[in-house]
Amino acid sequence: MVKPRQDITGSNSLKGISGKVIVDEKVIKDSWKEYMEKLMNEESRWDYRIEATVKEGPADCIRIDEVAGALKKMKRHKAPGMLGLVVEMIQSTGDIGTQWILDLCNVFVNEGCIPEDWKSSMVLPVYKGKGDPMECGSHREIKLLEHAMKVAERIFENTIWQQIDIDDMQFGFMKGKETIGAILIVRLMQKYEGQRKLGERL
Other beta carbons less than 10 A from residue 87's beta carbon: 20
Are 28 and 13 in contact by the 8 Å Cβ rule? The answer is: yes
Q: What is the pTM of this model?
A: 0.71
Q: How far apart are CA 70 and CA 150, in angstroms?
A: 9
Q: What beta strand segments (E) does the chain contain? A: 14-15, 21-22, 122-127, 139-144
pLDDT over 90 percentage in the chain:
30
According to DSSP, the β-strands at 139-144 and 122-127 are antiparallel
pLDDT in tens, 113-144: 888 888 888 888 889 988 888 888 888 888 89
Q: CA-CA distance, 15 to 138, in Å (whole number)?
A: 11
Q: Please, are residues 152 and 138 in contact by the beta-carbon 8 Å criterion?
A: no
Task: For residue 143, count CB atoms less than 10 angstroms from its CB and return exposed for 0-12, middle for 13-18, buried for 19 or more.
Answer: exposed
Alpha carbon distance 89, 189 (integer Å): 52
Strand 122-127 and strand 21-22: pairing?
A: unpaired
Express each pLDDT in 138-185 by its tens digit.
888 888 999 999 999 999 999 888 888 777 778 887 888 888 888 888
**Higher confidence at residue 179 or residue 49?**
179
User: CA 179 from chain center: how many Å?
Assistant: 18
Q: How many Cβ atoms sit within 10 Å of the Cβ of residue 188?
A: 10
In DSSP terms, 125 is beta-bridged to 141
Q: What is the pLDDT of residue 9?
A: 47
In degrees, to the nearest 5, what angle opens at C-alpha 34 toward C-alphas 121 and 21?
125
Cα 88 from Cα 147, distance rounded (Å): 9
The candidate with the shortest Cα–Cα distance to 102, out of 171, 156, 44, is 156
Q: Which amino acid is at 65?
A: D
Average pLDDT over residues 15-33: 83
Phi and psi at residue 161, to the nearest 5°: -60, -30
